[in-house]
Every structure is written in C-alpha cells, then in structure tokens.
Amino acid sequence: MQVPAPFEYERATSVDHAIELLNRLGSEARIIAGGHSLLPMMKLRMAAPEYIIDINDLSAELQYINISDNEIRIGALTRHQQLLESDELAAALPIFRDAEKVIADPVVRNKGTLGGSLCQADPSEDLSAVCDALDASCVIKGLDGERMVSMHDFHRGPYETAVADGEMLTEVRIPLRPNSSSAYHKVERRAGDWAVASAGAAVTMDGDVIADGRVGLCAVGPNLTNIEPISEALRGQAPSEELYARVGQIAADNSSPNTDTRGTAAYKTHLAKELTIRSLRKAVARATGTDTGAVA
Amino acid sequence: MQVTMTINGEEVSREVEPRTLLVHFLRDHVGLTGTHWGCDTSNCGTCVVWIDEEPVKSCTHLAAMAGGHAVRTVEGLEVDGELDPVQEGFIQCHGLQCGFCTPGMMMTARALLDRNPDPDEATIREAISGQICRCTGYSTIIRSIQWAASKERETAVELAGASNEGASA
C-alpha cells in the first residue's frame, strides 16, 4: 500500500490565509490543489512535507479564465477540464485545447490544476511548454504583495520554480496579440501517459511574414523555456516548409533527451523537430485563416 | 483529525490520520468496499468515486480534502432496491468479467450520461480512457453504457408522453 508519510493538514480559507499559513509553518509546508502530482510524489517519499495546506476552497479567488482585449488571466486553481472546455479560451488560444485533450485522462483532468502543473515543473509536463510558447507570466504572491515573473524565470529547472518559501502562484497572464494563433502536438504511448515528446508553437503574423514566433518543448530536456534562436529564426520570415524545417532542426539541436522506456534519445530528438514543424505549420494556418482542420 | 463528509446522502464522521487517502477512508473506515483499490497511482481508475457530482480517483485524493463535500460511491447507484440503468446495462451486456474495474467504470459512465444522454462510441471511449479493464472487455463495457443510455432515453420519452397526457386530461 502506498500512503504519504505523516503530515499535518490545514485548510486555507482565503489566499491571504494560505500565505499566512505558509509563512507561519515554514519551508516544510506545501500547498495542495488537485494533488495529482504532489500525492504521488509523497507516496514515493520523493516529497515529505510536514504540513499540507489545502487551497481547494479558494475557487472564488483562484478559479477563473478572464479574457480582455489584450490579455488572458487564468487563476492558478483553474482545472484542466475548464481549460479544455472553455470555448472562449479555445478561440483565443487554441493551443490550450490541443494540449488539454492529451493531458492525463478525463477523470484526472477534473482535479488537476494549471497552477499545480506549473509549480510541479516536471520537464515532461505539457502546460509549462504551452505557457512558454505563449510568453506567459506568472503572478506570485507573498506577504509583501505580488510579483510577476516570465515563464523563463519561473521555471528554474526540473521540479524547481521561482516560487519561494512563504509564496504561492496565484495567476497566469498571457498576452493576446492580433493576427496570432497557436498549436500543440504531443506523441504519447497511450491515452493519459506522459509525453514521449511534445511541442507547442505560437505565432504573430504581420501581413505575409511572421512578426514573432515562439516554440515550447516538453520532455526533451531539463529546461527548455525561451529558446531564443527559434524566435530569431522566425522573426520577419515568410512562412514556408523550408523555414519550418530549419526551425525544427534548431529545436532538435537544443534538445537533450534521455533514452528511457518511452523511447530512445534519437527518437525523441526526431520528435522535437517533427512536432515543432507540425505545430508551426498549424499555428500559421490558424493565424492566416487557412487551417483545413487536418490533424498535422 | 475528524473528517466529516456526506457519503451517498448520509453524513459520516471518522477520526483518521491526515494522510488517509479517500479510497482507504471509504473501504477501511466506513466499510464501503464497493469502491476498489487498484494501482495506487491514478492510472487504473477502479477507485473512481464522485465528489460533488464529479468523478475523481480516490487513491489520489486525501479523505481530509473531501471533508464537507458530498461523496457518491458505487453503493449509491442503487436507489430503493432499484438498480441504476448503468448497473442494469452491465448485467444485460456482460459489462464485467472479473469485476475489478466495474465500480470505477460505472461511476464514470453515470457521470457521462448525466451530462450527455446520447454519447457516441468515441465519446464513451474517451470518457473511460483513464480506466483500465485488465480482462480487456472494453467492447462489452461500451455496449453496457450504450444500453443504459438508450434505456434512459426511452424512459425519458415515456415520461414526457405521460406528462403530456396528464396535461391534456
């Protein structure tokens, strides 16, 4: 039987209360949201916090998708299922629905949250790649108020984020730009599994050329946020298969996957390239209104 | 700690360790062994129960987190001696062989049909994609859920007919 090591349980009644608890209980306190990353880690003793602070009652403060003209703000406690089902989010940022369809399974998606996924900072976790492609920022709250960090600064490395002791992630902010779209492609061995590899792309068009483009990769290296050579290669270029192939190669060159039961390093590197190509092709087609609805 | 929740409509309170998982709370502390305990890693889905009408995997959920909420288990499908159409469907269409995955499959199926009374096969397959039948009897599970869906639609039509007659009388 797998059960977590003993801990004390606290239930937060507000965000301020959660932060107060975090500060009072110290570095051995951890927040639990959906629990689908933290509890398995605790069962395996890879995590053994002395205090668990349950924030599931804070839906009024932390569970929302607010869309304005130039930005989308998503509360940290927003569940995968809401991210999947929101038509408004899918219209503005189709990469979310692409990714959410293949994150875990429907029952797990009822519990798992955006904030929990990002704070877990697993290199194989899809939403970090999504938020990186979208140039998102994370709002971190502590006793001294809020601070905002880019995904690049948020994701410090495997299982490590910019959230310090006594702080919590409360919101993710994503800029909305005109003439833009996005897409996500993942290869997994079976429904609900971790990615063998995935790639997400977001592009902003200026007439016939790509004004700005970003690619987020997942499961092919310890920390792949903000791959600047990709954005440099895309900037000011007209979309073409040749361009996608060149950028796909940059993605592959920046990947450093391990050989494991999900595949060889060579296969994953190949996927980093091919999924980057497919995501870019799809994102550009969507942004230019030429998407035929084809899968790849 | 004292954990109090509603299970199948009845308030239940137990003194448990904070680390007690919901699946063990239900089985070992409350004695409701209909919910099965399987892989312990949120992969197999035999432990699925509802919390506030949403299916969740109870092996990856603290009992403490369910405190103050309404839990429904497979024991709560039958009402006043009458089987839920999903349970009937599993009997009619041989939806179980060894029966180990059955409680989770039925709770997920019930939630699906409450939201979508007429799901196509692909929708059913997607809904149960987080659940494993190690007998690999997926085809009969899908047929069982389809049987329940069609029975419920027929019942709904009959009820609507009856109420129309009542209105015109």
Distance CA A292, CA A74 (A): 29
Residue type, A89: L
Distance CA A280, CA A199 (A): 9
Is the pLDDT at B163 greater than 90? The verdict is no
Interchain pair B19, A6: CB under 8 A: yes
Interchain pair A6, B40: CB under 8 A: no
Q: What is the mean pLDDT of chain A?
A: 95
| pLDDT band per the 50, 70, 90 thresholds, residue B169 | very low
Name the residue in chain B with its Cα closest to that of A48: B19
Q: Which ipTM did the prediction report?
A: 0.93
Distance CA A7, CA A30 (A): 10
Residues of A engaging B, defined by a Cβ cutoff of 8 Å: 1-9, 11, 32, 35-36, 39-40, 43, 52, 54, 56, 104-108, 110-111, 191-192
**pLDDT tens-digit map of A10-56:** 999 999 999 999 999 999 999 999 999 999 999 999 999 999 999 99
Residues of B within 8 A of A25 (CB-CB) are none
Q: From the list B1, B17, B57, which residue is nearest A108 (CB)?
A: B57
HSE-up (13 A, CA, CB side) for residue A292:
4
Name the residue in chain B with its Cα closest to that of A49: B19
Q: From the list B40, B64, B126, which residue is nearest A106 (CB)?
A: B126
Helices A265-287 and A241-254, packing angle to 10 deg:
140
Q: What is the pLDDT of residue B166?
A: 60
Contact A91, A112 (CB under 8 A): no
Name the residue in chain B with its Cα closest to that of A44: B41
Residues of B within 8 A of A3 (CB-CB) are 19-21, 24
Interchain pair B56, A110: CB under 8 A: yes
**pLDDT tens-digit map of B68-103:** 999 999 999 999 999 999 999 999 999 999 999 999
Ramachandran category for residue A135: left, alpha or beta (phi over 0 → left; psi -120 to 50 → alpha): left
pLDDT (average), residues A92-101: 98
Q: What is the pLDDT of residue B161?
A: 83
How many angstroms separate the CA of residue B35 from the nearest CA in chain A?
A: 15
The dihedral built from the CA positions of residue B61, B67, B69 and B75, taken in this order, carries a sign that is positive
